[in-house]
């Protein structure tokens, strides 16, 4: 049996909540048959810390900054075939930052959804796990 391992840099996912709304992104993903609803996320750039990446990704994808950051935990995304290690952060005290700066392969639309019932609306396991960590800590 051949095992194919995807070497992937560490990544971050951000749980950004304002009042009773969860900040999400709608985007097209190659592994999905359509548009996904996810939490803001992205990979660490070389030399970047996890909190620096979280701050950058929230600004790039959502044009938001945050006054408060809290590390919620970390986990392996899909250890069966990937080395991706995901750092989870909560962002609070949100404020408008400079306009979003997307990578060439990104088509992102910011969407705020009601926090109640949001766990069942997210499309990917990383977002579900991150939100579950946040909910557990409330």
Predicted confidence (pLDDT) per residue in 55-89, tens digit: 999 999 999 999 999 999 999 999 999 999 999 99
Q: Which pLDDT score, from 0 to 100, does residue 107 have?
A: 80
Cα distances (angstroms) measured from residue 83 to each of 10, 11, 70, 92, 126 = 8, 10, 24, 29, 14
Residues 11-137, CATH architecture: Alpha-Beta Complex (3.90)
Instruction: Give the pTM.
Output: 0.92
Q: Which pLDDT score, from 0 to 100, does residue 30 have?
A: 85
Q: What does the domain layout of the chain look like in residue ranges?
A: 11-137
């Amino acid at each position: 049996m051949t095992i194919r391992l995807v070497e992937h840099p560490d990544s971050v996912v951000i749980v950004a909540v304002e009042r009773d709304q969860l900040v999400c992104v709608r985007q097209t993903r190659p592994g999905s048959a359509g548009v996904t609803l996810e939490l803001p996320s992205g990979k660490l750039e070389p030399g970047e810390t996890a909190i620096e990446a979280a701050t950058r990704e929230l600004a790039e994808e959502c044009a938001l900054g945050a006054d408060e950051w809290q590390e919620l935990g970390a986990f392996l995304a899909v250890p069966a075939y990937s080395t991706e290690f995901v750092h989870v952060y909560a962002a609070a005290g949100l404020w408008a930052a400079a306009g979003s700066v997307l990578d060439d392969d990104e088509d992102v639309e910011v969407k705020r959804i009601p926090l109640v019932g949001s766990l069942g609306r997210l499309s990917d396991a990383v977002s579900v796990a991150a939100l579950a960590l946040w909910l557990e800590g409330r």
